[in-house]
Structure 1
Amino acid sequence: MDNGRSHMRDKAEIIDQQVLFARLDTCFATLSEPFRQRYFDVLTHTLRVCCAICSSGSLLILFTSLTTSYWVTEKTHQGLVHTGLWEMCLGPTCHYIEFPVPEFLNVTRAFVMIAVVCGIASLLCICISFEYVSIGPIYLLAVAGLLSFSTGFFTLIAISVFTAVNKSKKVYLQHLMIFGSSYGLCWASIPAYITTAAAHFFPRHKRKLH
């Protein structure tokens, strides 16, 4: 009989301890919730700032590539000629590429310009997300991420066309033409935008615009 009572007492003590631990866990969880939320808010804001910086830098690289005239550099009997998407320069003298413009150059221009537009739209979405993370069901950073990925994709198409055509030219095969810094910047913008696109999908928040 005493053994039975002792067993019952031990069992009751164990149950009491379990109830106590459960209450303590609930208490700590309630106390730590504001701290977890504050940490989450700081983290998402930091990631959003990083996204804005990455997007701005990537857009600057791509825009510089579009507007500068160092896509290819060619040795001629008149001297060193460097050419971009819009103009050709011999020394300090530059002039716009005259019609008829080669088809591959029009294709390259078109895709790079589409990429720039997508890059600008992506940056605008990030800027708006500092005030409103989502508009209705649309999560702005996810849209910005898709736009950043699209920017990198369109840039890749543009530079692939440009590279394929120029590498088949006789002057390139004779080592009289090399790709320049503007061309290199265009390539650099691709991984920059892919990295930016990946970064957009980390921060999450529940604040919405009604």
Structure 2
Amino acid sequence: MLYCASRPFVRRVFNAQTKLYCQPGQYWAPECFDNPPVLLESLDNKGNKDRTEERGQKRDRSVMSGVLGRMYSFMGGGLFCAGVGNILLIISTTTDYWMQYRQSNNYMHQGLWRYCVPGKCMTHTDSIAYWDATRAFMILSLLACFIGIVIGVMAFIRSSSFSGFDKTFAAGILFFISCFFVLMAMAVYTGVTVNYYGKRYGNWRFSWSYIMGWVAVVLTFFSGIFYMCAYRMHECPRNSNSR
């Protein structure tokens, strides 16, 4: 049944004499209304449409809130791994326990910068290629990880600086670069040490500074993974909104 509305009352429009109903675009009874009628079904449809749009907006806000929560969780995990990895890189690079070996009934140990005998430590005076390469890769890895942490913190707090590029993606790439450099350092040192000291000394082993380097490889790698996951979660809502 169709109804018509006018100011100030609502009533069913039916003129017994003319047999005409009030419908949009058709005849209507002028004596019934002061103004042209408005179809109530149209008002109902508009209200339903508004309610549907409101529910859709609430659902979109809820989904976006969940996505942002997971994104910040990934970034928080990435910053934690990167921070611990950066500390391990510093300790590994500066300490003197990359390897230990026995010589003349004395245990000796050495790092990238010094070697130690019982009672004293001395700086490496020889410029050996694999030592230089290991040092360079470790320093580059340390710098890349530190810059990645700075940019990662800026992405976490949504800083407006450097808005020309995605800071989440940049931080993830820097963490992967840091992982690559420290992996190269560990590979060079491991290969030369095994081939040289394995033949020269019968009683030797890698020590805790060396082990920290490998732990830093794992942590910087997972930092990059976490930030790339956060970047993907940040891009998916943006792409859906652009459509």
Deviation at 1:187, TM superposition (A): 1.4
Partner Cα separation in structure 2 for residue 82 and residue 108 of structure 1: 17
Query: 2:218 pairs with 182, 191, 199, which one?
Result: 191
Q: Which amino acid aligns with 1:56?
A: G
Residue aligning to 2:117: 90
Residues 110-129 of structure 1 aligned to structure 2 (within 5 Å): 110-129=136-155
Higher relative contact order (CA 8 A, sep 6+): 1
Residue aligning to 2:86: 59
> Does the alignment pair 1:109 with 2:140?
no
Deviation at 1:92, TM superposition (A): 4.3
| 1:159–1:187 CA contact under 8 A, matched in 2 | yes
Backbone CA RMSD of aligned residues? 2.3
Q: TM-score if structure 2 supplies the norm length?
A: 0.69
| 1:72–1:84 CA contact under 8 A, matched in 2 | yes
> Does the alignment pair 1:33 with 2:54?
no
| Residue 125 to residue 187, structure 1, CA distance change in 2 (3 Å) | same
- How many residue pairs match? The answer is 185
> Does the alignment pair 1:143 with 2:177?
no
For residue 203 of structure 1, give the secondary structure of its aligned residue in structure 2.
Answer: helix
Partner Cα separation in structure 1 for residue 171 and residue 72 of structure 2: 15
| 1:133–1:139 CA contact under 8 A, matched in 2 | no
- Name the structure where helix makes up a greater proportion of residues: 1
Q: Which runs of 5+ in 1 are unaligned?
A: 1-18
Q: Which runs of 5+ in 2 are unaligned?
A: 1-44, 236-243
| 2:113–2:123 CA contact under 8 A, matched in 1 | yes
Q: TM-score if structure 1 supplies the norm length?
A: 0.79
